[in-house]
Amino acid sequence: MSRPRPVVLSGPSGAGKSTLMKRLMKDHEDVFGFSVSHTTRNPRPGEENGKGLNTLPMLLGATLLPVADVFSSEDLEKSASLSNANKSETTDKAFKAELDSLLMLHLTDYHFTTKDAMQEGIDNGDYIESAEFSGNLYGTSKAAIEDVQAKNLICILDVDIQGVKRIKETDLNPIYISIQPPSIEILEKRLRDRQTETEESLQKRLEAARIDMELSNEPGVFDVVIINDDLERAYEELKVILNDDIQKVQEAKS
Ligand SMILES: Nc1ncnc2c1ncn2[C@@H]1O[C@H](COP(=O)(O)OP(=O)(O)OP(=O)(O)O)[C@@H](O)[C@H]1O
């Protein structure tokens, strides 16, 4: 049996990747999975090495949980200090992963590793992306993606355009999908309405979005570019693209 092809979802911040992913996972139980990230930070109490949950993190998105009900005060303090951290472009992803992990109440565990081991792996090209945040390294290894495939799950990878380029150097052979907003003006409105960004991070995202929107149209980078104008239509388009792969996974289970 061939392993399910991973799916790369790329596109500017605010284009709708998470929204579309959540719907996919809600409508197709036990079909999609996420890779477990590596980190050099210390495990927190209750965290286990490598025990990543496949669908729960998406379903327990921060917006669905009453934060005060489930957080310890220490978590909230850490979360607040992370929110205020002065992030650079490269640490943004690690920041988001770290904040996500806090918001998911330790449900997303990591492969905990040492700085030396991780740096060696990065130098060897074992990681499709990595970033430093608060003195710790975070990254997605090729092996972690293969682990998801070995469970007969379609690994969803939400990566930026640099990540796309790195994945193209591997033999992972994913389906490359770019999610794009109808225009930069609409993207700005959605990001403002989402109320998750400071003015500074919003401007950074818009700048990155302009570059991303240009690169996504270069021939051969993506298998398909979906313009997320109307959410229902964009979701239908995504389902049509993934239909055969979803069916293969479901058939292999039955
Ligand atoms: N077609 C659409 N029409 C209107 N609003 C939308 C549409 N798609 C997504 N949104 C809204 O736009 C905002 C950004 O979407 P989302 O958070 O899914 O983007 P994203 O690409 O995952 O961003 P990031 O990379 O920053 O996580 C959300 O508030 C979402 O509800």
Closest ligand 1 atom number to CA of residue 194: 29
Q: Give the residue among 5, 217, 185, 189 at the shortest CA–CA distance from 226.
A: 217
Predicted pLDDT at 254: 82
* Per-position b or e across 86-101, b if 16+ CB within 10 A of its CB: ebeeebbbbbbbbbeb
Residue 201 beta carbon below 6 angstroms from any ligand 1 atom: no
Residue 16 beta carbon below 6 angstroms from any ligand 1 atom: yes
Tokens of 238: 């995504």
Predicted pLDDT at 71: 35
Q: Distance between CA atoms of 98 and 108, rounded to whole angstroms?
A: 10
Predicted pLDDT at 127: 93
Q: Are 33 and 153 in contact (CB under 8 A)?
A: yes
Q: Domains of the chain by range and CATH?
A: 1-31+153-254 (3.40.50.300), 36-151 (3.30.63.10)
Q: Which residues, 6 or more positions from 96, have their beta carbon under 8 angstroms from its beta carbon?
A: none
Residue 14 beta carbon below 6 angstroms from any ligand 1 atom: yes
Query: Mean pLDDT, 10 residues at a time, over the chain (254 residues)?
Result: 92 95 93 94 81 42 29 40 42 60 55 96 94 92 96 94 91 96 96 92 94 91 96 98 97 88
Predicted pLDDT at 54: 41
Closest ligand 1 atom number to CA of residue 228: 1
- Taking the centre of ligand 1 as the mean of its atom positions, its distance from the CA of residue 57, in whole angstroms, is 17
> Model's pTM, two decimal places?
0.81
Q: Distance between CA atoms of 209 and 15, rounded to whole angstroms?
A: 9
ipTM: 0.97
Among 23, 166, 194, 210, which one carries the catalytic annotation?
A: 194
Among 5, 23, 44, 192, which one carries the catalytic annotation?
A: 44
Give tens-digit pLDDT for 155-169.
Answer: 999 998 988 998 999
Predicted pLDDT at 91: 55
- Whether residue 3 lies in the annotated active site: no
Predicted pLDDT at 100: 57
| Concatenated DSSP letters of 81-101 | HHHHS---TTTHHHHHHHHHH
According to DSSP, residue 195 is labeled T
Coil/strand/helix, residue 192: helix
Q: Distance between CA atoms of 75 and 154, rounded to whole angstroms?
A: 31
